[in-house]
Structure 1
């Protein structure tokens, strides 16, 4: 197996397995109900994007969407931005998520660094969602209000989300490892009325008290009328630490009937955040219907999920994979929540979790698999993974060596599905195809209903060549809008200002003639650390607030085969030195006010930050330079105000890149 090269087949599904997949059952249904037949996956994909309305209508019917009113038309307006999906339909995401019930199977398995075992039955989940929804209504929360959570990946967060969605209120969450300023920058924009929060969290064997942050959130989020506190690290004296709070248990005191607010298809479900490189984080609004249909398609057809599965994604509430994990409930599957470090007390933790829960699908980030490989991990034979059918990887490109490691060291007969998508659509663009073989270093195919192409700078479609990842036709889960973006300018500028009417995502992709894909990392300057995206401005605000720092530049060198390397460049005040004390201070400030995820791997002292003639930091050109692009192709010195600053970065690029891959 070690002699296999990139692009060669490393695993094939058996004919029996192919016959049992959700994709095969779906195509059999299309043949029986619609008279449609396809020779292979590529033909099915082409139909799904060429006949968008017919395809998405089939997902509605095949997946038995629960709605109080069916749609009048599937796609009334096909333009991007501005597509109008399933007008006239009325439904509720939470109702679809709680429609199924298995008396013999839990809805949630929960584990953490301190909790060895907790199970939530479907009955208990529904009862608690009903009680919390009832309590929220009594607190005055109504449809369209924003409810936010500063919460980890625990059952209470799932319950609070489903309760919020059930009454038509709008959900938004940040993980408690986010610093106060990062949370305030996000939540303040959407004017929430209720804040759910924990008193702290556990990570890597330590407890982190966040009551001071919660207090700061209460003060700065002036629209918040009620704070609901979930005791997590300290069960006592919490209300003495934090004033004007309601304890979580008070929301569960009254039992209630589970009911659902029937809302239009495009009624906001939640707000996620995807930062650009300047300004405040962008609040992305996604709707009940679009997310429901996209998650049904993604989980049933591309993750091969059924109600018999036990599914896991290692994620925090600050990553869209937490939101996608909720799609497991929509299918009646058991979802596994884990809160804590994947390496505490050692890197065996998640593999032990897979055995303990009888996990059938294990979702994680590419960096986790790469780290496991580099540490010489060998779960095969050590853990009982007989029930584990699939391993999903996302958040970053997965290297060829990591593909080989999975089959050598995890399980020989397993479907390894590498995928790539975005917070922006809360789903994948390219990913797993259960009826196809797995090829080393490649993503199996483009997702159904997603018209993915690779474009050159002139907007020409490329095959077998690296280009910009673009979406040329609308998806139901695309943002409805950005919150408070009254005229749509921020939305348009984020995706549509390069190719008119075409979504430019900001990734490099190569699509070959058989439909397989390779993602080569970000093509813009947004930072992506294990799937969590952060705008550079979030880091600049913190670093440049340090007295000794004059200016800074941050570059993420994430690219296929090299992992993610976050580099920070600083210009200091005259006479100041980049000594160990200042380095430690910079890292601590980022840890405290942004997130530990975005602590730089290396900090460099420079004399000047490269800038354009109008004074903008040259993030994208410098990033390309440090990734190994040819200097003359990415940097135009004539367009700079300080071309002398380039020499340092040119020399550093030569050191960092032994060979060029572009």
Structure 2
């Protein structure tokens, strides 16, 4: 594969990874010839590796751990038992009062800088207010907010108290939000009155009221007037203005030490049936993982500016906050990335001298398709790295970055998931960037490609499997008795091993990786996982629809195609009116991401004998995999229904 970038000697010498290797040599007498040797050590000596992370980053524990890892039996294992700490406390260890902690802009032209001192004061005010409401450890506080500073402030306050955070973005519909938040019985909701996107304001007043009406455990609702400064006029006196809370004298910010395995937040990843999975991570596991990744795989340094284009409904928002652990400033943007001009984010980067530019693979692909020569119109001299995730980044997009954005930038393609709130695979300054390849498996991630028989393979397509525990793996799913759903989500196909649901190929020569998309039926739509059950729930409300099947295909060149196949009731034909109703229902109930690329009428939807929709087999057929390897006709209730999809695949 073509080499596109190599770190200079100075880059490598100044990197956190080199500093860590030197530290290992001084303190533990360990020397490594290359990154592969270091990775081998990190996964062969998993406990020693994570202890080294603990010591290298000087983790502050209010009581010391008595055991590193209770068991290698996933998921029934715990890390650093006995240790107590606080994630937020480690962020504020980096505080430099007069320096900027948060830069914020939105598409409406608002620009805000928040110093570390102001951040600490506002977090303290929020802590004081939440305490007055009786919020304490293990209570849940949820947010329906855009990517604004108030979201970061609220998260840090909730975390400081040892309470549990969860958030969604305001482009989610009522049902989608309630399906997530109702599971975790929140005590407080922090909401926004609306948001702007692509130059258009979206009033969410009624949505907020509907959400509140569906969450009986709420004790208080805090409102951020965002698109209307008089938004509180539309709500009862029971709602509190967040700006009033920030005027409270919170005194000195205090931190509640919690167990290493205490919940830090709840993220959501939809399965193919039922409610979204409410995934719970731990304070300590996320702290160690984010220190490791930000330092060694993103090389984020004190005083740098770290940007990721994300919403609060994507795990990358949570990941973005951790740049503060490194003493960097986080850069937040709310709005459409291509408004008012397609290259608005690159203008934004120029204006703020961003050092680390994070985005989704579809955004880079969209730039490529527009054939925009970014480097001609923009300086971008401050950018050290461009990070990409959310979908596989095709080789053509790698080439585009170096030919048309910046030729001396470190392109960090990475892949992980909501499940661990980090990347399993990503960047390293010790390897070259090669077209179409992710550089490395991350330290401490014992990841391999397995064939259908469970054998390790290289230079061939296989299932991405992790065979040893990671601290940032979920501690549990909310309301999941005996870890039943947790186990079925990751550990059924390869007993004792985490199957992530991605097809990958590991290059035995370069040690790089290529990801070929999801191997299961979960939809990965522009970096956000969507459960097929959400699509079906909305489509079922359309009177004319009898049944439906949704598939998302990852095609060559970074393209995505998400067709919705519908079986109509007798007497109906697929008219433009019905298509419009379907799209409106999906957008209203959930989000614009749920809207399919095409709606296609079929005579029947394929089912197994036991009554399950055959999403994964049909996806394989549409990806033109051999029929005999795609579907078991004998296990079908209606095998004749498959022929349509075989013919349809020829047209893709």
Give TM-score scaled by structure 2 length.
0.98
Match of 1:343 in 2: 338
* Larger mean Cα displacement after TM superposition, 34-43 or 630-639: 630-639
1:366 to 358, 361, 380: 361
Whether 1:422 and 2:417 are equivalent positions in the alignment is yes
SS at match of 2:549: strand
Give 1:43's aligned residue: 37
- CA shift for structure 1 position 381: 3.0
Measure the CA separation in 2 of the matches of 1:325 and 1:308.
15
Kindly report which structure 2 residues correspond to 1:493-532, keeping only aligned pairs within 5 A, or say none.
493-513=488-508, 514-532=510-528
> Cα offset for 1:564?
1.5
Structure 2: how far apart are the matches of 1:373 and 1:268? 40
The 2-side partners of 1:598 and 1:111 are apart by 27
Equivalent residue for 2:187? 193
Alignment partner of 1:224: what SS?
A: coil
Stretch of structure 1 that moved more, 221-230 or 571-580: 571-580
- Deviation at residue 115 of structure 1 after TM alignment: 3.5
Q: Report the Cα distance in structure 2 between the residues aligned to 1:18 and 1:307, rounded to whole angstroms.
A: 17
CA distance in 2, matches of 1:592, 1:27: 52
Report the counterpart of residue 587 of structure 1 in structure 2: 583
Q: Secondary structure of the residue that 1:561 maps to in structure 2?
A: helix
Contact map agreement 2:232 2:239 (CA 8 A) in 1: no
Deviation at 1:561, TM superposition (A): 2.8
**1:546 and 2:569 matched:** no
1:565 alignment partner in structure 2: 561
Partner of 2:249: 255
8 Å CA contact 1:153, 1:337 repeated in 2: yes
Matches within 5 A, 1:96-115: 96-103=90-97, 105-115=99-109
* Secondary structure of the structure 2 residue equivalent to 1:336: strand
Deviation at 1:579, TM superposition (A): 1.3
Deviations 1:468-509 (A, max 9, x none): 101000000000000011211011100001111100000001
Alpha carbons 1:397, 1:559 under 8 Å: kept? no
Match of 1:660 in 2: none
The Cα of 1:103 is off from its aligned counterpart by 4.3
CA contact (8 A) 1:521 1:560 kept: no
Pick from 277, 285, 289 the counterpart of residue 290 of structure 1.
285
Distance 1:79 1:237, change over 3 A: closer
Structure 2 distance, partners of 1:473, 1:559, is 31
Deviations 1:501-537 (A, max 9, x none): 1000000011121321000000001011121101100
In the TM superposition, residue 632 of structure 1 has moved relative to its aligned partner by: 1.8
State the partner residue of 1:299: 294
Give yes or no for contact 2:288–2:471 (8 Å, CA) kept in 1. Answer: yes
Q: Distance in 2 between matches of 1:238 and 1:323?
A: 28
Q: Which residue of 2 aligns with 1:654?
A: 650
* Cα distance change on mapping 1:378 and 1:102 into 2, 3 Å: farther
Give CA deviations for 1:230-282 in whole Å, capped at 9, x if unaligned.
00111115243455211112322321220000100000000000111001101
Between the aligned partners of 1:134 and 1:562, the Cα distance in structure 2 is 47
What is the deviation of 1:434?
Answer: 1.4
Distance, in Å, in 1 between the alignment partners of 2:380 and 2:100 is 20
Residue 465 of structure 1: how far off its partner (Å):
0.7
Unaligned 5+ runs, structure 2:
none
Cα offset, 1:308, TM superposition = 2.2
SS in 1 for 2:386: strand
Label 1:560 to 1:285 Cα distance change in 2 as closer, same or farther (>3 A): farther
Q: Distance in 1 between matches of 2:122 and 2:511?
A: 45
String of CA shifts for 1:53-98, please: whole Å, max 9, x gaps: 1111111111122221222221122210112101111100111111
Cα deviation digits, residues 346-403 of structure 1 (max 9, x gap): 2111001111111000000000000001001122032121110100000000011101
- SS class of match (1:488): helix
1:58 aligns with 2:43: no
Between the aligned partners of 1:397 and 1:403, the Cα distance in structure 2 is 11
Q: Which residue of 2 aligns with 1:537?
A: 533
* 3-state secondary structure, aligned to 1:68: coil
C-alpha spacing 1:18/1:158, structure 2 compared with 1 (3 Å) = same
Matched, 1:182 2:176: yes
Q: What is the Cα deviation at residue 321 of structure 1? A: 0.4
Q: Is the Cα contact below 8 Å between 1:199 and 1:210 reproduced in 2?
A: yes
Distance 2:218 2:409 in 1: 47
Query: Secondary structure of 2:182's match?
Result: helix
Write out per-residue CA displacement over residues 206-233 of structure 1, whole angstroms, 9 at most, x where no aligned residue: 0101111110111111101100000011
Cα deviation, 1:325-362, whole Å, max 9, x if unaligned, reads 01111111000000011111121110011111110000
Aligned partners of 1:432 and 1:444 also within 8 Å: yes
Shift of 1:114: 1.3
Please say if 1:75 is aligned against 2:58: no
Q: Secondary structure at the match of 1:97?
A: helix
1:11 equivalenced with 2:42 (yes/no): no
The 8 Å contact of residues 92 and 166 in structure 1, kept in 2 or not, is answered as yes
Q: Is the 8 A contact 1:590 1:599 kept in 2?
A: yes
Q: What is the distance in 1 between the residues matched to 2:445 and 2:600?
A: 41
1:97–1:275 CA distance, 2 compared to 1 (3 A): same
Task: Say whether the 8 Å CA contact 1:520–1:560 is kept in structure 2.
Answer: no
Find out whether 1:605 has 2:601 as its counterpart: yes
Show the counterpart of 2:407. 412
1:399 aligns with 2:421: no
Find the partner of 1:155 among 141, 149, 162.
149
Contact 2:34 2:430 in 1 (8 A): no
Q: CA deviation at 1:655?
A: 1.4
Alignment of 1:100-179 (within 5 A): 100-103=94-97, 105-179=99-173
The correspondence of residues 199-214 of structure 1 with structure 2, limited to 5 A, is 199-214=193-208
Equivalent residue runs for 1:298-337 within 5 Å: 298-337=293-332
Shift of 1:562: 4.2
Distance 1:105 1:146 in 2: 31
Verify the 8 A CA contact 2:280 2:478 in the aligned structure 1. yes
Matched-pair contact (CA < 8 Å) for 1:146–1:191:
yes
Does residue 356 in structure 1 map to residue 369 in structure 2? no
Distance in 1 between the 2:559 and 2:88 partners?
A: 37
Residue 614 of structure 2 aligns with which residue?
618
Deviates more, 1:634-643 or 1:321-330: 634-643
Cross-structure match for 1:272:
267
For residues 19-77 of structure 1, give each alpha carbon's deviation from its aligned partner in whole angstroms, at most 9, with x where no partner exists.
11111111111111111000100000000000011111111111122221222221122
Q: Distance in 2 between matches of 1:439 and 1:136?
A: 49
Tell whether the 8 Å contact from 1:522 to 1:559 is kept in structure 2 after alignment.
no
Alpha-carbon separation, structure 1, partners of 2:378 and 2:98: 25
Please tell me whether the aligned partners of residues 567 and 603 of structure 1 are also in contact (alpha carbons under 8 angstroms): yes
Q: 1:488 aligns with which of 483, 489, 498?
A: 483
Counterpart Cα distance in 1 of 2:582 and 2:299: 44
